[in-house]
Amino acid sequence: MARSTTSSNPTPRQGAHLQVLPGGRSNAATARKLAPAPAPSAGPFVKWVGGKTRLLEQLDPLLPREIARYVEPFVGGGAMFFHLHGKGALQHAALTDANLDVITAYQVIAGEVDLLIDALRLHERRYLRQDHDGRAAYFYQVRERHPVDIEMDAIERAARMLFLNRTCFNGLWRENKSGRFNTPHGRYARPQIVQAEKLRAAAGALDGVHIELRDFRRLPELVREQDLDFVYLDPPYHPISATSAFNAYAGGGFSARDQRELGEVCRELDRMGVRFMLSNSDCPLIREIYRGFEVDVVKAPRAVNCRGDRRGDVDEVVVRNTRRY
C-alpha cells in the first residue's frame, strides 16, 4: 500500500487570502484554519420612518414571555418581526400591510430574491454611472413609471420600490392621495442599492411566513383563521403637531377616525383573549382611545425634520392588554 505523504509546502485552497510574511513565507496554514464568516442576521431591508430598530431595547422587556404565533399588521420595515425571529421565539408568523408596494417587496424577497437582486443591480449600474444631475433624472424617471400606469411584474415593482427607498430623501416612503410615491431625490455619494446579503438573510427569515395585503380592520378574522396569539401594531402615528403630521406612507394617510377604528380592533382582540402591544404617539387622542389598557412611555429618536436642531427624543406610548399576558 502506498504511503500517504504530507508536503512541507502545502498548496493553499483556491481563493484563500494569503498574507506574505517576513522572509517570503505565507500564512497558508492559518488561512486553511479560518472559519467562514458568519451569515448576516436578518433585519429590516428598507429604510422606514418610525421603524423600531432603535427602540427594541426598550420594547423587548414589554413583550410577553412566550410568543408562538405572531402577526404584525402594519409591517413596514418589520423590525419587531426580525427581532423575534432572531430570538427563535416564533412557530408561525403572519405579516400584513395596506401598502401594496411594501407587501410586494416582502413577497418577492421571500420567493424570488435572486431575481430581485439582479433587477436591483441593473438599477445600481444605471444610477451610479451618472453625475448628480443624471442620477436625479434617472430617479425621477423610475418614480414616474408607476405600476398603475404601466404593466409591471412583481419583481420589477419590488425593485422599483427598493431603489426609490434607497435613493430618495431620508428614505421617506410617502404617497399622495392617489397612492403615488412622491418623495424627492436624496443626496448620497454612493448609496447601497443592492444589499444582496441583507436581502438573502431576510429571505431566509421570511421562509414559511404568511404575507398578504390586508386592511387592519380585517385583522380579527386573520387571527381567528390562523390561531394567532400575539399582535404587535405599529400604525402611522397620530400627529402631535402640524409639523409632525407624517402618516401618508399609503395613499390616503391615516386619520383620527382610522385611529379610533384601530382602537376598536384592539378591543375586539382583547375580547377574543388575544394579547396585543401597540406603539403610537403620546397625545390626548391616543390615551383616550386606549383608556383602560396598560400604557407605558418610551423615548424615541425623532429623525424626520428639515432642521437638525429640532430632532431629538420624543415620548411614545406602548399600549398593552397585560391582563392577557
CATH number of domain containing 309:
3.40.50.150
235 and 286 housed in the same domain: yes
218 and 94 housed in the same domain: yes
Rg (CA), the chain: 24
Q: What type of residue is 320?
A: R
How much is the pLDDT for 38? 55
Instruction: Using the 3D structure, point to which of 165, 199, 233 is the last residue of a domain.
Output: 199
227 and 322 housed in the same domain: yes
Interatomic CA distance for residues 259 and 280, integer angstroms: 10
235 and 325 housed in the same domain: yes
How much is the pLDDT for 250? 61
Q: What type of residue is 196?
A: A
311 and 220 housed in the same domain: yes
Q: Does residue 28 belong to any structural domain of this protein?
A: no
CATH number of domain containing 149:
1.10.1020.10
186 and 218 housed in the same domain: no
Instruction: Using the 3D structure, point to which of 156, 176, 199 is the last residue of a domain.
Output: 199
231 and 257 housed in the same domain: yes
186 and 251 housed in the same domain: no
Nearest to 271 by CA among 321, 217, 214: 321
Q: Does residue 54 belong to any structural domain of this protein?
A: yes
Q: Which domain holds residue 192?
A: 112-199
92 and 122 housed in the same domain: no
How many domains does the chain fold into? 2
Instruction: Using the 3D structure, point to which of 175, 199, 223 is the last residue of a domain.
Output: 199
Q: Which helix (H) or strand (E) holds 92?
A: strand 92-97
90 and 227 housed in the same domain: yes
Q: Does residue 16 belong to any structural domain of this protein?
A: no
Q: Does residue 132 belong to any structural domain of this protein?
A: yes
- Alpha-carbon distances of 133 from 127, 155, 185, 190, 305, rounded to whole Å: 11, 27, 10, 14, 25
- Alpha-carbon distances of 185 from 139, 140, 147, rounded to whole Å: 7, 7, 19
How much is the pLDDT for 251? 61
Q: For residue 25, which phi and psi values (nearest 5 degrees)?
A: -75, 155
How much is the pLDDT for 6? 37
- Dmax of the chain from CA atoms? 87
Interatomic CA distance for residues 120 and 282, integer angstroms: 38
305 and 271 housed in the same domain: yes
How much is the pLDDT for 317? 98
Q: Does residue 297 belong to any structural domain of this protein?
A: yes
Q: DSSP 3-state assignment of 302?
A: strand
Q: Does residue 5 belong to any structural domain of this protein?
A: no
Which pTM does this prediction carry? 0.83
Q: Which residues pair with 69 in a beta bridge?
A: 92
Q: Does residue 177 belong to any structural domain of this protein?
A: yes
What are the start-end ranges of the H helices in the chain? 28-33, 56-59, 79-86, 100-128, 132-144, 154-167, 196-206, 219-226, 256-271, 284-289
Nearest to 305 by CA among 219, 233, 241: 241
117 and 179 housed in the same domain: yes
Side by side, which strands form the sheet with 312-320? 210-213, 92-97, 69-72, 230-233, 275-281, 312-320, 294-302
3-state helix, strand, coil in the chain (%, to 5): 45, 15, 40
Determine contact, residues 95/81, Cβ cutoff 8 Å.
Answer: yes
pLDDT in tens, the chain (325 residues): 343 333 333 333 333 333 333 444 434 443 344 444 455 689 999 988 888 999 999 999 999 999 999 999 999 999 999 999 999 989 999 999 999 999 999 999 999 999 999 999 999 999 999 999 999 999 999 999 998 899 999 999 999 999 999 999 988 888 888 889 999 999 999 999 999 999 999 999 999 999 999 999 999 999 999 999 999 999 999 998 755 555 455 666 899 999 999 999 999 999 999 999 999 999 999 999 999 999 999 999 865 555 545 557 899 999 999 988 8
Q: Does residue 302 belong to any structural domain of this protein?
A: yes
Q: DSSP 3-state assignment of 269?
A: helix
Q: Which helix (H) or strand (E) holds 96?
A: strand 92-97
Interatomic CA distance for residues 229 and 210, integer angstroms: 15
How much is the pLDDT for 171? 87
How much is the pLDDT for 50? 80
Q: How many CB atoms are closer than 10 A to CB 30?
A: 14
